[in-house]
């Protein structure tokens, strides 16, 4: 919870692109029919700057598969009231595909089971708190949840919020998005009417700066709302007494994902011990 609050405060003081008519709720914009599964596939890259190395920068690349599924409804207590909730499971596999089959290895699979209040999935980061007043939420509220990383035992998530970035995807909760081209997008999962949104989020201290940018293909026709995305996080560092112009790139992390499948009658894959 401590880090979630730190992120939320940081996000709340950070500006995005020029105002638009939307603000993104990370990767999950809407809730489809229960039992729906969506699957994405793409590439995750990391570049480490090595200005003093004769071998140049270190560049690494992995294949990635991400699944989101709705696996049941349950009444939960949220803000002191009983509300309708949805069990959402998210699975991320990261590894290499030497023979066309992803080999994530012992630590390359991350799974999460989250009980989310249905009213909190609204496709916006603006949370109403009173008549005509909203606050910015940089997280996904949950009633309860569990996580399993690789071969480690299942652990309960004890906080009341869940950060999708960066354990799930490089997409953040953007305060503002710029709406761009509307088009018919074709991916392996099908053809969908989409709107291209772009977002930016910058976090900066005296010695560290992180700039996250993303292009999101959003569609009301697609389960959970996102057909595909590209995202990048650039981290920079400088000395305490250096000027802001002295910030130098340290790492660049990039992710490109597109939907490859939609399935019905999805069952839970997460066993809670």
Question: What is each CA distance from 112 to 68, 142, 144, 156, 268, in whole angstroms?
Answer: 10, 12, 11, 10, 11
Output the pTM of the full model. 0.88
Q: How far apart are CA 10 and CA 268, in angstroms?
A: 35
In a domain, residue 270? The reply is no
Contact assessment for residue 207 and residue 240, using Cβ atoms and an 8 Å cutoff = yes
In a domain, residue 273? The reply is no
User: Does the pLDDT at position 226 exceed 60?
Assistant: yes
Six-digit token string for 12: 């709340």
Tell me which residue range forms the domain holding 21: 2-263
Task: Give me the count of residues in the chain.
Answer: 273
The verdict on whether omega for the bond into residue 30 sits within 30 degrees of 0, i.e. cis, is no
Q: Which residues contact 181 (CB under 8 A, 6 or more apart)?
A: 195, 196
Q: Which residues contact 264 (CB under 8 A, 6 or more apart)?
A: 33, 35, 36, 37
In a domain, residue 196? The reply is yes
User: Does the pLDDT at position 7 exceed 50?
Assistant: no
In a domain, residue 268? The reply is no
Q: How many domains does the chain have?
A: 1
Q: How far apart are CA 155 and CA 174, in angstroms?
A: 29
101-156 pLDDT, tens per residue? 999 987 899 999 999 999 989 877 777 777 778 776 778 899 999 999 999 999 99
In a domain, residue 191? The reply is yes
Six-digit token string for 186: 């074709």
3-class DSSP state of 246: helix
In a domain, residue 269? The reply is no
In a domain, residue 271? The reply is no
* Average of per-residue pLDDT across 16-44: 77
178-187/161-162 β-pairing: unpaired
In a domain, residue 19? The reply is yes
3-class DSSP state of 243: coil
Contact assessment for residue 143 and residue 72, using Cβ atoms and an 8 Å cutoff = no
Q: Which contiguous run of DSSP H or E holds residue 164?
A: none
């Amino acid at each position: 919870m401590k880090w979630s609050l730190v992120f939320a405060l940081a996000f709340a003081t950070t500006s995005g692109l020029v105002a638009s008519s939307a603000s993104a709720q990370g990767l999950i914009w809407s809730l489809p029919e229960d039992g729906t599964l969506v699957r994405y596939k793409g590439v995750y890259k990391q570049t480490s700057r090595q200005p003093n190395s004769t071998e140049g920068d270190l560049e690494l690349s992995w294949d990635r598969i991400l699944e989101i599924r709705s696996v049941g409804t349950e009444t939960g207590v949220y803000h002191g009231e009983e509300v309708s909730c949805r069990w959402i499971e998210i699975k991320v596999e990261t590894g290499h595909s030497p023979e066309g089959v992803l080999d994530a290895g012992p630590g390359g699979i991350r799974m999460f089971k989250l009980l989310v209040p249905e009213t909190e999935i609204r496709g916006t980061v603006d949370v109403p708190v009173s008549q005509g007043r909203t606050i910015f939420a940089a997280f996904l509220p949950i009633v309860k949840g569990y996580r399993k990383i690789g071969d480690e035992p299942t652990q309960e998530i004890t906080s009341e919020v869940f950060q999708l970035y960066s354990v799930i995807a490089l997409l953040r909760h953007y305060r503002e998005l710029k709406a761009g081209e509307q088009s018919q997008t074709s991916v392996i999962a099908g053809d969908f009417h989409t709107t291209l949104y772009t977002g930016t989020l910058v976090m900066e201290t005296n010695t560290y700066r992180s700039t996250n940018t993303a292009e999101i293909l959003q569609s009301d026709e697609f389960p959970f709302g996102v057909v595909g995305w590209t995202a990048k996080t650039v981290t920079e560092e400088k000395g305490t007494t250096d000027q802001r112009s002295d910030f130098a790139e340290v790492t660049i992390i990039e992710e490109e994902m597109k939907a490859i499948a939609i399935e019905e009658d999805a069952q839970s894959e997460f066993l809670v011990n």
